[in-house]
Amino acid sequence: MTSTPLITRELFIDGKWTAGAGDERLEVLNPATEQTIAEVPQATPADIDAAVRAARRAFDEGPWPAMRPAERAKILAAMADEMTRRRAELVELNITEAGSTRMIADFLQVGTPIDHFADMAHRVLPQFAFEQPVPPIYGRGIGQGAVVREPYGVAALITAFNFPFLLNLAKLAPALAAGCTAVLKSSPYTPLEALVLGEIAESAGLPPGVLNIVTGDVAAGEALTQHPGVDIVSFTGSDAVGRKVYAQGADSIKKVVLELGGKSANILLDDSDLDKVMESVLGGIITHAGQGCALLTRVLVHQSLHDELVARIVGTLGFITVGDPADPATMMGPLIRDVQRQRVESLIAAGVAEGAQIAFGGGRPAHLDRGFFLEPTLFVGVDNRMRIAQDEFFGPVGVVIPFSDDDEAVRIANDSRYGLCGGVWSADSQRAVALARRLRTGMVTINGGGGGLNPAAPFGGYKYSGVGREFGEYGLSEYLQHKTLQWPVG
């Protein structure tokens, strides 16, 4: 693993780069080497206030909300073009800052969000119905009217560390497309993939104040979610913090969109082809070291296939290369920080204490003395009531739970406080679809889904997995208000 020269960045407020009001600096680490790769200002509540005020002025007095959708689309398309031009650089930044393996960084962390951003500019925004007529009303004369969709206002966008560039763009694209102005606050672990968007906005000619980018600790975050100048909050993170954000926005009746955790079930029916399911099953454990809210981390398998499946998983995990994420041969990288690794290790210990058995892994890789690595880990002998089946690991840990029939599979899958994603495998596609419709989740992939993350499909979940949706027309709608206009005829 090679060292990286120290990067310095500033906050981006009102179209200008600033060192902020405070003296504290935030060190950014490479999670694979534990080396400091960058220093950025730690934003203070005063910086948050300055950012919100800039966004407020840009919304109330600036040109952005009043622009025709085609005009906004042109600037967003220029931003997408600039991201595409800098794609290789963004991939390297993601590997270094977030610890993604090269394949995940190139495809899911960077490539997919750029494609989604471009889709917003080229397809969604030009075609979106910002104004629609309503049927006439007959009474005291005849009334006719229209429903107008208008930008919500100033948007506070708060993102997590696991897929930083994707999450930043998943919020920023619809907010800007709607005509909102924004304050983007990144995770303290991954500020660089937010701040770089200031450079991209400058290059594309985004008006000053439309996008403001800050860092900050808990105090800064609370200053943002509670600020009277903010109209809508969109947060991605844990359900524990999401509940606090929801409460903080309530005092001033802000709209709050939440994309939270998951404990998603991958259901393998008795006619499943184990050769076909293995990539999906392994992906739920090792993809970005398990740091993904939509990963299928509970494997529910028909009891007739249980032993063979476990043997296959254990046999394959032994060949998973864990190490330097910059090496194209590496299949799993590190967790983001040691504190996250310790949380995962604590939950692993809880699983053992509850009586589950570790079929593979459970420790730290012996060949790596630096970096926040864990072995890919598999639990068997799991009861769905155990903590390891109910709580989100956010680490490279999967659990296997057998079931006897389709009804029991549905019951186990839905026995969760989360409802983000799910998967169903069967040789009978109609049977798989029928079972998928019974799952209380926002998304279900059937026989692997195919094609990847669809920018035209809504992303979000039920229950503790959140409120609202992201991506495409559905994400854009979250940042729009409805206004009814009515006038007399004749």
Query: Can you read off the two tokens belonging to residue 180?
Result: 């909102």
How far out from the chain centre does Cα 118 lie? 18
Q: Which of 97, 193, 259, 345 is catalytic?
A: 259
How far out from the chain centre does Cα 95 lie? 17
Amino acid, res. 239: D
CA distance 85 to 182: 24
Q: Tell me, yes or no, if 259 is annotated catalytic.
A: yes
Closest CA to 433 of 267, 315, 305: 267
Q: Classify 351 in phi/psi space as left (phi over 0), alpha (psi -120 to 50) or beta.
A: alpha
CA distance 392 to 359: 19
Question: Which residues are CB-contacts of 142 (< 8 A; sequence separation ≥ 6)?
Answer: 136, 488, 489, 490
CB-CB neighbours of 273 under 10 Å: 12
| Continuous H helices in 213-337 | 218-225, 239-250, 274-286, 306-317
Sign of CA dihedral 113, 120, 190, 420: negative
Place of tokens 């504290």: 24
Q: Cβ distance 215 to 26 under 8 Å?
A: yes
Q: Which residues are catalytic?
A: 259
